[in-house]
Structure 1
């Protein structure tokens, strides 16, 4: 009976191994999220007569600011965040090399020499010596593709880290551009605030003189004094924001705030590019964060294959050779040994650990697929929002420019009436203050347009292309 059982086992063994091989080699393709891409974005440019600019990897140069170009160059070399992300890429590359080491056999060598003494009950002593050197080579046969799947997972993890670095670079450079524009806008607003304070001081002198001559009341003096103090107080938050913005830029550039300084440029003369957004379907290949999500999904898919292979028998091959002698440090005359082994190991019971590990990797893949889907939808929303903001801020600036033009016209007319003696100085100063206020609003509208352009560049990937990255 026992003989027939053994014969049955050996007869069915090839069939079992073949079925396991087929099961292990059956790997599913990396799943893709189902996204219905529209033909175009929902917002079109209102300036059809202006030529649009394609998104370039050096997108900040489209603002035509020499100081901004210098800041970007300094950030590339000194930014702590960029240097940290570069180190993470190095770590991922080394992890990938560790996984690729499974392509090669493992070779080890050993040497030993020793002496032992023993004493019997009769008092006789026995002494023995031995010396041995040997070498061993072993290699695990990747019959089910599990080791290759682990290498593929490490490669996908490296790609994800590399794409994360590109996404971090884009975010940091966008933050630098926004911070630079913010600082310029604050300088313009501080200058406007000083003009308003000068006007308030002149008005205060006029009111004081009229009060001394009996033409104004004490309430008029107190009211104007309150206005002057309010103007002076409004300057302090602007100066604080300017200092904080400059310090934040210093940290992004890897400098101490105390050693960092900026040279002002004219914000209103800054070029605002008209950016070509492309089509929604192109966005997946244009954003490094989406490429990183896809790489994570590839890694999860490879992990599933590795987990399935772990359920199957492991096959390894080994060979060894050695030389030993019975005298210390002497290998002649010696005994030479050599041999080889071919082993097959299969886990029979481990409480469901391997099965649950496979299920865990499958659940992780499902989660990453949903996250990738959400990331694509969020990216499309960010582009749409950036386009809407760019469109609205552009129209608001156009409207504000008309307001400024009318305020300038009102000031010219008030000056003419004042010179003709038909209007008083207070009306002239009030017209001047109104002009400064609408000019301050124009500065803020220009800042909104510039920030909207930066946000759009960032949402579109900043000129990054997946195909170019993969061919490097």
Structure 2
């Protein structure tokens, strides 16, 4: 028996010595800078404001963000998930303490044997039991570590959800403003088409135009009018989506308007790729899940080893109802050792399953980092290209405005007809519409870059 015990303890010590060490992290060769930093500032210690939307200098957007912090159902749901994870952590922490239970009973029994005299007995008993499982192999501590890592992952997920929701609110707001200005431009083009239609009709009545000219211009007018419908539908859908993000009903929701071109496009410092791991809450959540999986391996490994528990009890009993006087006192303690001898390999396979899960999460973490680096690069490229495209479009608008001015002068002098003037107006309106779309692209690129960089979140501050 002594040999068996020594063999069992030796095996336990060997398996414990093989317990998982520090959490393995992926090895990534980070570049010194992102591939596109032409107009961005690349510094090693970049600090972004957590209220990054203030950089757009939009009072309405600031108000929308404030409403979202209080009423967004998505943010409230993520907060509830954090509470659940915290309670799970508290449940795991309760295993540190012994279990205490108390019981009390009082009763009476009667027996009536056939042919004999009746007998009656009474009893009252009260007892207290204490039990404690000794964490000799670290399985309970590993369970606590896994629960703490799960709680941390839930907090990081909440921060990541808040960042995504705020980015969606900003993008939806900019989209709605752009649609309002595009609708106004479409109305101007419809008015021009109607004036041209009247001119062509008058020329046809005077024999200076053909029926084909009238039909062609009528088609142009109908096309301009029909182009309004999808823009109006998209604006309504965007407003409804924004209402849902803010926790409001679409019917009660109304938006104040701003001029999209008055909204500032911030210059964002990208920092270095190596800093990104500590600046994105979703990456921190992936790492926390990896820590939890690592701890679960220790839990599964400890389940292979014998369990040791201590217990003690004390009680009093008496042969009278609801009385403990005179009493009989009892007490005792026990040390128990339990070891699963055979379970068809269930515990061993559970350990292997935990190891496979950790390997999967390690690969997921690696991919998440690479994807995050790609998102920053894409956002930087979009911001750079968008800035150049908007500058080019501004020149186009300036030339279209200059052309309209010259055409108006020629029209007043009688050198050009009204159709040339209306065509110059249409060209200017279309150029302005394209400029609005270019500004929208730049604003969305800035939002994407803020989101890709973590929106001012920092792991060191959170921890």
TM over 0.5: yes
Cα contact 1:25–1:144 (8 A) shared by 2 = no
Cα contact 1:315–1:344 (8 A) shared by 2 = yes
Report what 2:171 is aligned to: 178
Report what 1:457 is aligned to: 450
Q: How far apart are residue 468 of structure 1 and its match?
A: 0.7
Q: Secondary structure at the match of 2:154?
A: helix
Instruction: Give a deviation string over 1:226-276, Cα, whole Å, max 9, x none.
Output: 111111111111111111100000000000011100011010111001111
Task: State whether structure 2 residue 15 is matched by structure 1 residue 23.
Answer: yes
Instruction: Give a deviation string over 1:402-426, Cα, whole Å, max 9, x none.
Output: 1111111111111111111111110
Report what 2:183 is aligned to: 190
Q: How far apart are residue 18 of structure 1 and its match?
A: 4.6
Report what 1:33 is aligned to: 26
- For the residues of structure 2 that align with 1:254 and 1:367, how far apart are their CA atoms? 36
Task: State whether structure 2 residue 322 is matched by structure 1 residue 329.
Answer: yes
Q: Secondary structure at the match of 1:293?
A: helix
Q: How far apart are residue 26 of structure 1 and its match?
A: 4.0
- For the residues of structure 1 that align with 2:393 and 2:190, how far apart are their CA atoms? 23
- For the residues of structure 1 that align with 2:189 and 2:311, how far apart are their CA atoms? 87
* TM-score, normalised by the number of residues in structure 2: 0.97
Task: State whether structure 2 residue 367 is matched by structure 1 residue 374.
Answer: yes
Pairing partner for 1:145 from 125, 138, 142: 138
Pairing partner for 2:263 from 267, 270, 293: 270
Instruction: Give a deviation string over 1:170-207, Cα, whole Å, max 9, x none.
Output: 00000000000000000110110111111111111111
- For the residues of structure 2 that align with 1:111 and 1:65, how far apart are their CA atoms? 69
Pairing partner for 1:385 from 354, 371, 378: 378
Report what 2:62 is aligned to: 69
* TM-score, normalised by the number of residues in structure 1: 0.95
* Higher alpha-carbon deviation: 444-453 or 37-46: 37-46
Report what 1:4 is aligned to: none
Give the length in aligned residue pairs: 460
Report what 2:280 is aligned to: 287
Task: State whether structure 2 residue 185 is matched by structure 1 residue 169.
Answer: no
Pairing partner for 2:217 from 218, 224, 240: 224
- For the residues of structure 2 that align with 1:236 and 1:428, how far apart are their CA atoms? 27
Q: Secondary structure at the match of 1:203?
A: helix
The gaps in structure 2 that reach 5 residues or longer are: none
Cα contact 2:40–2:268 (8 A) shared by 1 = no
Q: How far apart are residue 223 of structure 1 and its match?
A: 1.1
Report what 1:6 is aligned to: none
Spell out the pairing of 1:405-444 with structure 2 (5 A cutoff).
Answer: 405-444=398-437
Spell out the pairing of 1:201-240 with structure 2 (5 A cutoff).
Answer: 201-240=194-233
Report what 2:5 is aligned to: 13
* Higher alpha-carbon deviation: 134-143 or 200-209: 200-209
The gaps in structure 1 that reach 5 residues or longer are: 1-8
Which consecutive segments of 4 or more residues in structure 1 shift more than 6 A? Answer: none
Cα contact 1:164–1:288 (8 A) shared by 2 = yes
Pairing partner for 2:35 from 42, 66, 81: 42
- For the residues of structure 2 that align with 1:217 and 1:11, how far apart are their CA atoms? 113
Q: Secondary structure at the match of 1:340?
A: strand
Give the root-mean-square deviation of aligned CA atoms.
1.5
Distance 1:88 1:242, change over 3 A: same
